Amino acid sequence: MKAINTLTAAVFAGISTYTLAADFSFDRPGAGVGTGIAPVGKLVWEQGLPSASYFENKVDGKTVKTAVLNGDMLLRTGLAEGLELQLGWQGPFWSKTKIAGKNIENDGLGDVSIGLKKAIDLNDDKLSMAVLAEAIIATGNEEFSNEDDIYSLSSAVDYAYSDLIGTSISMRYEVQDGNWAMNIVPTLSYAIAGNLSGYSELVFRKAESEEKEYALATGLIYALNDRMQLDASVGVDLDGEHKGYTSGLGFSVLF
């Protein structure tokens, strides 16, 4: 996705385990990989409403300011005990770029993805683990596509200290057109009051022949019941010379 900062987009493209649902965990929001698995024969719909990002960089000495909106979607269904299929779409995009006093607007569709997530039984009530194999297929429009397919393998470990606090860390290795990249996301999740909970995470990314990238994100999740939740989140890039901010709203439903 050449028109959008890679790390900024990643904050809203990934998945995590923050939910108060009793029998499984939704994958929205967050940039990490969750350990929850969709129940067999059930459908999980997770939707951005939308996500927004803003960033600034320099091109030939000129400041380029870009704002982007998109509504990403993820569908999950359990294939067997401990195994789920994921189908994702980065959704419709709209962007506005300002450079040298000129505004350029674009819209289009993002890429699609398919993945398999498998739970790893650690025989521990507080410790859970999962691995995710995923392919992001570059089917989107030029301005909003990764241009080349991305193949990745991710792992996640989640530890519940108590009913109030949990921690997790996920690692993602990906290859695109022969170039490798790695994401590491440590996360702290916490109950706030009633059905309201929150999370905070650090996103680290290192791509081959590229500088290291860092971002911070935090958000709130409100569980309407065991089958539906709402979420809101914000994030900021920590790269220094470039400014980058994200925000997002979304919902998740189990059918």
Residue 210, pLDDT > 80, answer yes
- Residue 200 resides in a domain: yes
Average pLDDT over residues 130-148: 95
Residue 134 in tokens? 């995923």
CB 202 within 8 A of CB 216: yes
Query: What pLDDT does residue 224 have?
Result: 95
Average pLDDT over residues 113-124: 95
Residue 42 in tokens? 């059930």
Q: Compute CA distances 2 → 96, 169, 210, 227, whole Å.
A: 14, 28, 14, 36
Which range of residues forms the domain containing residue 28? 6-254
Q: Strand, helix or coil at 225? A: strand
- Residue 1 resides in a domain: no
Percent of the chain with pLDDT over 90: 76
pTM confidence score: 0.87
Residues paired with residue 56 on neighbouring β-strands, in sequence order? 65, 243
Residue 20, pLDDT > 60, answer no
pLDDT digits (tens, 9 = 90+) for 55-93: 998 877 788 999 999 999 999 999 999 999 999 999 999
Domain tally for the chain?
A: 1
- Residue 111 resides in a domain: yes
Residue 155, pLDDT > 90, answer yes
- Residue 54: pLDDT band by 50, 70, 90 thresholds? very high
Query: What pLDDT does residue 24 have?
Result: 80
Query: What pLDDT does residue 18 have?
Result: 40
- Residue 207 resides in a domain: yes
Q: Which of 3-17, 19-33, 131-145, 197-211 has the lowest mean pLDDT?
A: 3-17
**What's the chain's average pLDDT?**
89
- Residue 185 resides in a domain: yes
Alpha-carbon distance of 147 to 132, in angstroms, equals 22
CATH of residue 86:
2.40.160.40
Query: What pLDDT does residue 62 have?
Result: 84
Query: What pLDDT does residue 240 have?
Result: 66
Average pLDDT over residues 160-185: 95
Alpha-carbon distance of 100 to 223, in angstroms, equals 45
Q: Which of 3-7, 139-143, 231-235 has the lowest mean pLDDT?
A: 3-7
Q: Which residue has the higher pLDDT, 13 or 192?
A: 192
Q: Which residue has the higher pLDDT, 15 or 28?
A: 28
**Whose CA is closest to 74, among 51, 52, 94, 48?**
48
- Residue 193: pLDDT band by 50, 70, 90 thresholds? very high
In a 10 Å sphere around its CB, with 0-12 CB exposed, 13-18 middle and 19+ buried, how is residue 182 labelled? middle
